[in-house]
Amino acid sequence: MAIDGNEIARRLRQARDEAGINQQQAADAIGVHRTAITQMEAGNRAVSTLELTRLASLYGQTVTWFLSEKNPEEEDVIVALHRAVPGLENAPDSKRQINRSVALCREGVSLEGVLGYPSRKGPPTYSEPLPSTPWDTIAQGQRVAEGERRRLDLGVRPITDLVNLIAEQGIWACGADLPDKMSGLFLHHASIGLVVLVNNSHARARRRFSYAHEYAHALLDRDRPVTVTSADNAAELIEKRANAFAAAFLLPREGVAEVLAALDKGQPSRADETVFDAATGGHFDAQSRQAPRSQRITYQDAATLAHRFGVSYQAAVYRLLSLRHVSRAESDELLKREAVGKDFLEALGMFEDLEGKEGKSLMDRELRSQVTRLAIEAYRREEISRGRLLDLGKQLGIPGPKLVALAEAARSE
């Protein structure tokens, strides 16, 4: 049964409200009078295909979202998100970004269905009880991180492309312009699968940590449709657990020890050895001492470790403390020297690797790349029309003629 006009009208109102756009702005964007928008949303005026396409693009939705039949018992992921983040209505740019990202994920799921791909299952779920103490949170986070590194056969090496790794696990992942206090989101919904969004305005090293943090929610907290990571809920134990996971996942214990050994650091100040003497049946002892202060971990070492594993200077220091390579007093001193550590990296041309910001064109590159590949493949197999491809081009931010030319080239192979 086709969807009726009243339901389309309701969705038009919902999409506009969620995008933070008033009726006059919507009317100006598509070239009609404001009263036309009012009539469309009241169900008193039909909306043309062209108008619906333009409004969908403006609101960060897909045309399919307005026209497809939906299970009334299935809560829309955007509605669930707005309930989880009450202040989101005051951040219209963020709402548009989130809506657009969710729309792209919906398109991706739809295209995978058209192509006959199996449903995304995502990475395995780790069954851990809800932590009851801070100690539980750290132990669980570290244990799952070590298990996931083993599963992915990462060894002790740094993860060079974390976004791609997450995407390879069946999770849509991208950056978005989130409110300042939010570092990331994890979404789980039947219509989009598993989605990780990270605040694109944060520095590169912090974004990497946020991606790992949200990945922890995908592994441990998949029963929740929305998990928000912000300054407001930082004290929650599942958030602390995700932080412990991220630290251990990005900075593996053996990897940190390996870097310190290469720097000739992290060794005991004194080493004692006892060897059995075959001739006498006794033994002899030997002792070595490191040069005074030679094993002290400095700001240079912390900065080198941060750059090696692509994390912030602070994250590196706290990981050194967690692994007991430094004392609390030593970590406090290292944190005081953070500015010097950053100067050290800048002098070596390494600062931008950690602190650089991501351009708009790169923040959702992996997600757009995945959906673009699916769209071209679906067109190549003649599963979608040229018109559908042009509609997808608008969602992807790719000029229609360019996308069609790429798809035609694939079809001719």
pLDDT, tens only, 322-335: 999 999 999 999 99
Q: Answer whether residue 93 shows pLDDT above 50.
A: yes
**What CATH number is given to the structural domain containing 198?**
1.10.10.2910
Cα dist from 38 to 15, 309, 407, whole Å: 14, 54, 38
Q: What's the pTM? A: 0.78
Residue-averaged pLDDT of the chain: 85
86 and 216, same structural domain?
Answer: yes
Q: How far apart are CA 155 and CA 259, in angstroms?
A: 14
Could you say which of 232, 251, 270 is where a domain stops? 251
> Both 107 and 172 in a single domain?
yes
Domain membership of residue 120 (yes or no) is yes
**Residue 92 resides in a domain:** yes
Interior angle at CA 57, CA 51 and CA 58, nearest 5: 85
Q: Are 212 and 83 part of one and the same domain?
A: yes
Side-chain half-sphere exposure of 375, counting CA atoms within 13 A: 31
Residues 226 and 108 in one domain: yes
**Final residue of a structural domain among 70, 95, 112:** 70
Domain assignment of residue 338, given as a range = 255-310+312-349
Same domain assignment for residues 87 and 102:
yes
User: What are the pLDDT digits (tens) for 262-295?
Assistant: 988 766 555 566 676 666 766 666 655 555 455 7
Q: Which residue has the tokens 């998949």?
A: 222
| Cα gap 99→88, rounded to integer Å | 12
Q: Do 180 and 238 share a structural domain?
A: yes
Residue 227: inside a domain, yes or no?
Answer: yes
Q: Are 21 and 92 in contact (CB under 8 A)?
A: yes
Which segments of 147-192 are extended strands (E)? 171-176, 182-189
Q: Are strands 171-176 and 193-199 parallel, antiparallel or unpaired?
A: parallel
Does residue 151 sit in the same domain as residue 285?
Answer: no
- pLDDT at res. 358: 64
**Number of independent structural domains in the chain:** 3
- pLDDT given for residue 2 in this prediction: 56
- The answer as to whether 204 is a domain residue is yes
Dist CA 249 CA 139 (whole Å)? 13
Task: Identify the domain boundary among 18, 51, 70.
Answer: 70
Query: Quick one: 201 and 279 in the same domain?
Result: no
Report strand pairing: 193-199 vs 182-189: antiparallel
- Could you tell me the CATH number of the domain that includes residue 61? 1.10.260.40
Q: Same structural domain for residues 175 and 232?
A: yes
What is the reported pLDDT for 57?
81
Residue 190 falls inside a structural domain: yes
pLDDT number for residue 290? 56
Output the CA–CA distances (angstroms, integers) from residue 221 to 28, 54, 105, 225, in the order listed: 42, 37, 20, 9
d(CA 305, CA 255): 10
Q: Would 176 be classed as within a structural domain?
A: yes
